[in-house]
Amino acid sequence: MVDMDADWPLPRPINLFKEEQRPAVSSLSTTSSIASTFSSLATPVVAEAVRRARELATNCDAEGFHQLRVAFRKLRALYWAYSPYLGEEATAQATEEFKRLAAVAGGTRDWDIAGDLLKGARESRASMGLLVAAAREKRAQAVVHSQTMIKSDDIEAFLNDVLLRAQVTLESSCNDLPIQEFAEDRVRRAQRALKKRSRYASRNDTAHEEDLHDVRKAGKKLRYLLEFFQPVIKGGHDRTIKELTSVQNKLGQFNDIAASETLIRSASFNDIPPEVVQESLQWLEKQKCRRMRAASQRVRAIAS
């Protein structure tokens, strides 16, 4: 992993993206430049990330952690879109840190999901109550870890820094280049990547977990790009976004099961009888197989 503390020192927040001083985001148009649209698109996502990070200091609800993770995922997609002009090294450094921060925020969210799933198992297996309680404790530990690692001032300073660097780079390389052709090209590339991943995952009757995960990531990237660039690309994409959201929901249901199974396998439950943990894993495995079949069907539809 890139040492972000070495490569990206965290200064005190500057005014460029400071939350309370952010200007209203102007509507994108086909006459906008590539450089100017980056600022317009990045600013509200940064505002959301900073706001969510600040709220988590005192509020640890599941939705806050989820939306913070989504904000960092959107920034990764945006950096991928502009990477031809940002450069490979700068893109890799920034997106690696976005990924790390999303993972820190996701720790609490993952235990929320696992706990909810185990509650479903508890309805038919009373012994699961012990594991549900243990999941609540793990969730509380994850909250403390996330709050320790996620400091809103540091995140705001980091985002200000990397986005200012990106803006300077873009203004020097593509300030006069129109956005429409560029946006359509990046969306096409994301579409081709999703199609390729879907076809690869569909080569067998039932896709592998890793392949479904790759399809899910490719689908998220495409959906975020369509949402970002919809005002400046030809053709209506509301239906495509709706379909992608539906597919993502189905893949997300499978991912929740698979991630929860991995989470429980890797965790230590000193006060829980091993047979209870094993019983939960067997239940999750059955649910995973069922959801994998449903997810595979949706992926085959994309591939065709």
Cα 61 to Cα 116: distance, rounded to the nearest angstrom: 14
Condensed to tens digits (0 to 9), the pLDDT of residues 192-248 reads 999 999 999 888 776 788 999 999 999 999 999 999 999 898 877 888 888 898 888
pLDDT computed for residue 54 by the predictor: 93
pLDDT computed for residue 147 by the predictor: 87
pLDDT computed for residue 194 by the predictor: 94
Under the banding of pLDDT at 50, 70 and 90, the label for residue 27 is: low
**Any bridge partners for residue 175, and if so which?**
none
Structural domains present in the chain:
26-303 (1.40.20.10)
What b/e sequence results for 107-118 when a residue is b if at least 16 CB atoms lie within 10 Å of its CB, and e otherwise? bbbbbbbbbebb
pLDDT computed for residue 2 by the predictor: 37
Mean pLDDT calculated for residue range 9-27: 41
CA distances from 76 to 72, 116, 133 (A): 6, 28, 35
**Any bridge partners for residue 15, and if so which?**
none
Burial (CB count within 10 angstroms: exposed 0-12, middle 13-18, buried 19+), residue 243: middle
Mean pLDDT calculated for residue range 243-266: 91
Under the banding of pLDDT at 50, 70 and 90, the label for residue 180 is: very high
- Residue 93 in this model has a pLDDT that exceeds 90: yes
Which of 277, 16, 300, 54 lies closest to 171, judged by CA? Answer: 16
Q: Which residue has the tokens 């499978």?
A: 254
Q: Measured at the alpha carbon of residue 94, what is the angle toward residues 91 and 97, in degrees to the nearest 5?
A: 140
pLDDT computed for residue 177 by the predictor: 92
60's tokens = 């640890």
Cα 124 to Cα 101: distance, rounded to the nearest angstrom: 37
Mean pLDDT calculated for residue range 47-65: 90
Condensed to tens digits (0 to 9), the pLDDT of residues 124-172 reads 676 778 888 899 999 999 999 888 888 889 999 999 999 999 999 999 9
Mean pLDDT calculated for residue range 89-110: 93
pLDDT computed for residue 121 by the predictor: 79
Three-class secondary structure assignment of the chain? CCCHHHHCCCCCCCCCCCHHHCCCCCCCCCCCEHHHHHHHHHHHHHHHHHHHHHHCCCCCCHHHHHHHHHHHHHHHHHHHHHHHHHCHHHHHHHHHHHHHHHHHHHHHHHHHHHHHHHHHHHCCCCCHHHHHHHHHHHHHHHHHHHHHHCCHHHHHHHHHHHHHHHHHHHHHHCCCCEHHHHHHHHHHHHHHHHHHHHHHHCCCCCCCHHHHHHHHHHHHHHHHHHHHHHHHCCCCCHHHHHHHHHHHHHHHHHHHHHHHHHHHHHCCCCCCCHHHHHHHHHHHHHHHHHHHHHHHHHHHHHHC
Residues 300, 253, 109, 128, CA torsion sign = negative
CA distances from 37 to 29, 34, 154, 241 (A): 9, 5, 25, 21
pTM of the shown model: 0.85
The rounded mean pLDDT for the chain is: 86
More confident residue, 110 or 15: 110
Instruction: Provide φ and ψ at 15, rounded to 5°.
Output: -80, -15
Cα 35 to Cα 72: distance, rounded to the nearest angstrom: 20
CA dihedral 7, 9, 15, 20 (to 10 degrees): 100
pLDDT computed for residue 5 by the predictor: 36
